[in-house]
Structure 1
Amino acid sequence: MTNFNPITIKTGNGTRILIIYTGGTLGMVFDEEKKTLVPFRFHDTLRKLPELNHLPPEIHLVSFEKPFDSSDVDADIYLTLAGIIERHYHSYDGFVIIHGTDTMAFTASALSFLIHNPHKPIVLTGAQLPIGIPRTDARENLITSIEIAAARMNNKAIVPEVCIYFNGRLLRGNRARKRESSQFDAFDSENYPYLAEIGVYIDYNFRHIRYSEGETRFYNVLSDEVSVLTLFPGISREILRKHLLNESTRGVILLTYGSGNAPSADWFIDTLKQGIDSGKAVLNITQCTGGKVMMGKYASSQRLKDIGVISGSDMTLEAAVGKMMWGLTRTDTSLKEIFAQNLAGEISLP
């Protein structure tokens, strides 16, 4: 098992940054024999990036022994990442996680619940092209992420949040979504302003950065008893039953239409109610990229509210999954109360 002992990439002026390399396109090379992108010894390439030598902070690196495709991310990896940060939390001023783009927003969201009240930046970044490609976006994404992780004002971190930096935009991690597979502006945040916009200068949006009070707390357990069901016209009763009445599922995230609407047929409502009455938590979030759930605005969503479906407001799917996985492990409060709270900046309260 990887021991995650940091190696030194460069010395610096006292500010210390830990890079956590998980895999992803940023750290890939093209294998001529296999004709695919494959991971390589990332720390060797970091040492060959002359730009790093012009950055003030001291930079260290830990790597997963076997870098992974972000499509293989699961709850165990979320917990491992949180554990690495907890282990080294008091030794570093900021953290940069290099991660594949496909599930980066899921990981950022999960970490925002596993690390409560962070007082240090935790910046996830990656690339659309490998670092060795001439037109790669990897260099700028990595260098700027390090700068943001090291940025301080009045001896305090400027952005003490779990966030994503990509192509000139710094986004709150649990508000971000991947929207592009072939353009450099891969991520956006429809329901929350950017934390910073980066051009010649880094223009921080201080008003929207979250400055937590209280002690930082790490959690080390998540539940995988979560199911996601996307509604579509013509969905069958049997599909709904398999999600709602499955013994291995305790939380169901329902991706509904518009502002939280769903079929009003009796069989649909009755099946939902049967699942809720059996102890399942059902969360309502919208399929739309922007906007929010407003249960009761239309008659169809009022019926959902009446039977105990929980409103997800303007949460992203990624945030909803992370919060549900975390919330199902809590025994001190109900899921309805948990989802009514803005725990890590994931929802907009009235």
Structure 2
Amino acid sequence: MKRKVLLIYTGGTIGMEKDYETGSLQAFDFGNIFQKIPEMKLIECEVSVYPFKKPVDSSDMGPKEWKFIANHIGENYDNYDGFLILHGTDTMSYTASVLSFMLKNLKKPVILTGSQLPIGDLRTDAKENLLTSLYYASLYENNEAVIQEVTIYFEYKLLRGNRTLKYSAEFFDAYQTPNYPVLGQSGVHLNVKKDYLWRNKTDDQFMVDDHISQDVLFWRIFPGMHLNHFTQIPNVKVLILQVFGSGTIFNTPKTLKTLQMLRDQGTEIVVISQCVSGGISFGKYSNSNIFTKIGAISGHDITAESAITKAMHLLDNPNYEGNFAENFVRNLCGEVTE
């Protein structure tokens, strides 16, 4: 039985080719994808292509595009066995993260991929990324999808989407999940680490929850900064603070006073680490106790991309019971270590 995969092209380098008259990159007609990559016809799946009418640079991707992708998957969920999203690399981790929260009770693969070089380049990484992503998007065993979550496939590695970060703009191996193992690797054989795959613990039906609030602010703490700017924040509902190490900040009376002022005005404060690996541990050092005093929320080992999109999704979302803090600390779809 041939599996059916819907390929959604949003934009990005993977869909570019060089205009040899001008030397600049331009989007090619994705209706000709099978001519560009004839090897796609050799894969044991039927591929339908849905290109955005106007390709979107990944730096322009945001709530409007996230909602469109999520709802397009929702509208086509029963008609396809898997979904492949071609996306620019710079914000792919944000899109993968937010889709993992929007696509509730997912039982089918949603794979995002892109490339560092255009598809028409002689040394392009686009073909391998696209072809192997199609394999993963159509991978079933005993009539059940092997992958039932949102992932990123890039440079021979399958990664949990809401755990990824882009760490290189130079190398083909551009993505990592420092706080979670690789889900699969492609070599001579297509490998999947089934023990690491996410599985929903309920039998609830798939649904799209595209709620997004943009009343979220991200701020990186640095040595020597003053906190006067915080007093000028106009009642932002969620402030994500990226702090030192396992959760420390300069311990001064003014720090406590300023952060407490934000809490008193109703701002939720989420604390995440600047470290690529590891996470927040309140109480490990005395300079983290300030966050316990003000009732801040620990992000544990969540990535910045996932923390931001999770906060945007949960804030004022009527589909969740309980308050923001209670829901943020929950492991919704594998984004934090329990």
TM-score range, shorter chain: over 0.9
Aligned position for 1:198: 186
Aligned position for 1:258: 245
- State the Cα distance separating 1:134 from its structure 2 match: 1.1
**In 2, Cα distance between equivalents of 1:221 and 1:156:** 29
2:18–2:120 CA contact under 8 A, matched in 1: no
1:161 matched to 2:132? no
**In 2, Cα distance between equivalents of 1:55 and 1:309:** 50
**In 2, Cα distance between equivalents of 1:101 and 1:46:** 22
1:121 matched to 2:114? no
Aligned position for 1:338: 327
CA gap 1:149/1:262 in 2 versus in 1, 3 angstroms: same
- Aligned pair count reads 334
- State the Cα distance separating 1:192 from its structure 2 match: 0.2
Aligned position for 2:121: 133
Match of 1:37 among 25, 31, 40: 25
SS in 1 for 2:317: coil
Aligned position for 1:3: none
Match of 2:308 among 321, 324, 332: 321
Aligned position for 2:283: 296
SS in 2 for 1:336: helix
Aligned position for 1:8: none
**In 1, Cα distance between equivalents of 2:248 and 2:193:** 34
**In 1, Cα distance between equivalents of 2:151 and 2:206:** 16
- State the Cα distance separating 1:238 from its structure 2 match: 1.9
**In 2, Cα distance between equivalents of 1:46 and 1:132:** 13
Aligned position for 1:286: 273
- State the Cα distance separating 1:41 from its structure 2 match: 1.0
1:178 matched to 2:171? no
Question: What is the one-letter code of the residue matched to 1:227?
Answer: L
Question: What is the one-letter code of the residue matched to 2:192?
Answer: Y
The residue correspondences of 1:207-222 to structure 2 (distance < 5 A) are: 207-212=195-200, 213-214=202-203, 215-222=205-212
Give deviations 1:41-65, integer Å, cap 9, x for gaps. Answer: 1221333322111101110011111
2:211–2:317 CA contact under 8 A, matched in 1: no
Gaps of 5+ in 2: none
**In 2, Cα distance between equivalents of 1:35 and 1:288:** 39
Cα RMSD, aligned residues only: 1.2
**In 1, Cα distance between equivalents of 2:327 and 2:256:** 24
- State the Cα distance separating 1:335 from its structure 2 match: 1.4
Question: What is the one-letter code of the residue matched to 2:115?
Answer: A
Question: What is the one-letter code of the residue matched to 1:318?
Answer: E
Aligned position for 1:97: 85
- State the Cα distance separating 1:114 from its structure 2 match: 0.5
CA gap 1:241/1:46 in 2 versus in 1, 3 angstroms: farther
With structure 1 as the length reference, what TM-score do the two structures score?
A: 0.93
- State the Cα distance separating 1:36 from its structure 2 match: 3.1
- State the Cα distance separating 1:188 from its structure 2 match: 0.7
- State the Cα distance separating 1:139 from its structure 2 match: 0.3
- State the Cα distance separating 1:34 from its structure 2 match: 5.3
2:18–2:26 CA contact under 8 A, matched in 1: yes
- State the Cα distance separating 1:216 from its structure 2 match: 1.6
- State the Cα distance separating 1:35 from its structure 2 match: 4.2
**In 2, Cα distance between equivalents of 1:312 and 1:187:** 21
Give deviations 1:126-175, integer Å, cap 9, x for gaps. Answer: 00001101110000000000000000011100011100000011000000
2:154–2:174 CA contact under 8 A, matched in 1: yes
**In 1, Cα distance between equivalents of 2:238 and 2:198:** 28
Q: Share of identical aligned residues, percent? A: 39
2:34–2:41 CA contact under 8 A, matched in 1: no
SS in 1 for 2:129: helix
With structure 2 as the length reference, what TM-score do the two structures score?
A: 0.96
Aligned position for 2:224: 234
The residue correspondences of 1:3-152 to structure 2 (distance < 5 A) are: 13-32=1-20, 35-152=23-140
Aligned position for 1:9: none
**In 2, Cα distance between equivalents of 1:114 and 1:329:** 14
Question: What is the one-letter code of the residue matched to 2:222?
Answer: F
SS in 1 for 2:152: strand
